[in-house]
Structure 1
Amino acid sequence: RTVIVSTGARSKMLGLESERRFMGRGLSTCATCDGFFFSDQPIAVVGGGDSAMEEALFLTRFAEKVTVIHRRDTLRASKIMQERAQKNDKIEFLWDSVPVELEGDGRLDGIRVRNVKSGEESRLDISGLFVAIGHVPNTAILAGHLDMDEAGYLRTHDGAKTSVEGVFACGDVQDHVYRQAITAAGSGCMAAIDAERWLESVGTD
């Protein structure tokens, strides 16, 4: 027998109760999936790393304006990504701030934002909010059984092989870079081929 692990990864969320009400109704974790729904509308991206800058830059293709909300006064993103975002006329930055409430009647029409230094709150009128603060691989049940990196992603080698013979991994559970449906599908094909070849090598019908 063989096993292919494809448990994926989930987006880190803000931890707000109102997130549940607005997911798919203005709240998203995927710019490439949902960005075109917000053509000529003001939107915001939460985060300060490379992923957040990539999302913000991509969203400028559609949005009227993109506000990047970051809890610090400096970005964690690489220098080149920072420069690209800061040079884009459609991108504005809201520093030292965190969303504390999502608002709207059925659909998102704004968020409450708190300045972490002053404690002051204000409202930002937006139609869409994209959360880009990282991902968590769904590997907790495999801890101690398969080799993982420091973030919990499964380590693969020679295709889809894991640290245990006969166990393979594919998709976002082992990919913290691309995280796209098409790359996950491709790695799934690789894992299936590797598993089939392994079964043949051990003489299993």
Structure 2
Amino acid sequence: MNQAIIIGTGPAGLTAAIYLARANLEPIIIEGPEPGGQLTTTTEVENFPGFPEGMMGPELIENMRKQAERFGAKFRSGWVDKVNLSDRPFELTLEGGEELVANSIIISTGASAKYLGISGEKENVGRGISTCATCDGFFFRNKKIIVVGGGDSAMEEAHFLTKFASEVRIVHRREELRASKIMQDRARQNPKITWSLNNTPLEVLSGERGVTGLKVLNNITSEEEIIETEGIFVTIGHTPNTKFLDGQLDTDDIGYLIVKPGSSETNIPGVFACGDVQDKKYRQAITAAGSGCMAALDCEKFLEGSMFHDWSKTLV
């Protein structure tokens, strides 16, 4: 019988794995086809404590993985097709039909940034295409960049990026913005922010060094235009990776898992959540790692207490 299974291998899941492994709980970590989450698409990480010279995102994830393995964590590859949380021990079914059972589960499946889905975008992620201003804004000092989006996040990130860029152009396919009035006013009052409304992105242009421009369609004149830029920040939202749970855990209206304040506990005893799958505010590697630590400690405490409690009477 497995004591703990961790679903997801970003900084949250790997931190949880390190803590549980050091507690001799021998956790099983399920990693999907893109292990490491969004850090694997980040070229250089300069804001993770302990690395004054910075570190490549994939290298940071690989080091965390090795650290977890050193203490006895075991990794399994594959999608989780189905989870049964109605009884304990909990049951997981991986792609191909393999079944696993565990007394506790930590969910750290993250949230996937939404992309535009246009030509030249995917291949330039990390080469000028970004979905995180806090993570990558520093690399665009004194450069002209574009923010695509019309919501509060787009306005907030555009304002933040003006600390580094010489000019930030907001591109949005409509005339009206979804952002709140206070966020719109803040952006419009910033002298470094310019606007290209009623423009639909068509294609990301790039050269040897990365992004060079964004081709857009003017929805009023039907004319195409190329906006020169060295960076494009796509801020059209995130999708929490919770669909596989089939509604068994409480979520907000977007799909983010709800945890009890000050903890990683979900509405089902023995099931915990950490990282971006339950955090739609900060979405940083360091906060994800911190929440992974919380989940591991909560999980360890639960397993200790479950030895003396009949949880079958309290499960949904």
Range class of TM-score, shorter chain: over 0.9
Instruction: Pick the aligned partner of 2:141 from 35, 39, 47.
Output: 39
- In the aligned structure 2, how far is the partner of 1:144 from the partner of 1:92? 42
Please report the TM-score for the alignment, with normalisation by the length of structure 1.
0.94
Among 136, 140, 164, the residue aligned to 2:243: 140
Among 13, 17, 22, the residue aligned to 2:115: 13
Task: Return the alpha-carbon distance in structure 2 between the equivalents of residues 5 and 33 of structure 1.
Answer: 24
| Residue 54 (structure 1) aligns with | 156
Find the aligned partners of 1:119 and 1:165 in 2 and give their Cα distance: 56
Q: How does 1:16-95 map to 2 (within 5 A)?
A: 16-95=118-197
1:121 aligned residue = 224
Residue 192, structure 1, aligned to residue 296, structure 2: yes
Q: How high is the sequence identity, in percent, across the aligned residues?
A: 55
Shift of 1:116: 2.6
Normalising to structure 2: TM-score of the pair? 0.62
Higher relative contact order (Cα pairs below 8 Å, separated by 6+ residues): 1
Looking at structure 1, the residues matched to 206 and 295 of structure 2 have their Cα atoms a distance apart, in angstroms, of 44
Structure-2 separation of matches of 1:42 and 1:123:
14
CA distance in 1, matches of 2:172, 2:181: 16
Q: What is the CA–CA distance in structure 2 between the aligned matches of 1:186 and 1:79, rounded to whole Å?
A: 34
> What is the CA–CA distance in structure 1 between the aligned matches of 2:190 and 2:130, rounded to whole Å?
22
Deviation for aligned residue 1:145: 2.2
How many residues of Structure 1 are paired with residues of Structure 2 in the alignment?
A: 204
How far apart in 2 are the matches of 1:190 and 1:118? Answer: 54
Which residue pairs with 1:167 in the alignment? Answer: 271
Letter in 1 for 2:249: L
Three-state SS of the structure 2 residue aligned to 1:33 is helix
Query: Matches of 1:165 and 1:28 in 2, distance apart?
Result: 37
Cα displacement (A) at 1:182:
2.2
Q: Is the 8 A contact 2:256 2:277 kept in 1?
A: yes
Based on CA coordinates, which of the two structures has the bigger radius of gyration?
A: 2
- Counterpart of 2:193, as a letter, is I
Question: Residue 93 of structure 1: CA displacement?
Answer: 1.0
Deviation at 1:178, TM superposition (A): 1.7
Stretches of structure 2 that go unaligned for 5 or more consecutive residues are 1-102, 309-316
CA contact (8 A) 2:119 2:202 kept: no
Q: In structure 2, how many angstroms separate the alpha carbons of the residues matched to 1:17 and 1:115?
A: 17
Shift of 1:117: 3.5
**2-side partners of 1:187 and 1:117: how far apart?**
47
- Which of 147-156 and 90-99 deviates more? 147-156
The residue identity in structure 1 corresponding to 2:163 is R
Q: Once the 2 structures are TM-superposed, how far is the Cα of residue 176 of structure 1 from its aligned partner?
A: 1.3
Q: Secondary structure at the match of 1:108?
A: strand
> Which consecutive unaligned segments of at least 5 residues does structure 1 have?
none
Alpha-carbon distance in 2 for matches of 1:143, 1:82: 37
Q: 2:253 corresponds to which residue?
A: 150
Shift of 1:167: 0.3
Q: 1:144, CA displacement in angstroms?
A: 2.7
1:115 and 1:194 map into 2 onto residues whose CA distance is: 52
Moved more, 92-101 or 180-189: 180-189
State whether structure 2 residue 270 is matched by structure 1 residue 130: no
Are 2:118 and 2:203, in contact at CA under 8 Å, matched by a contact in 1?
A: yes
Partner AA of 1:196 in structure 2: E
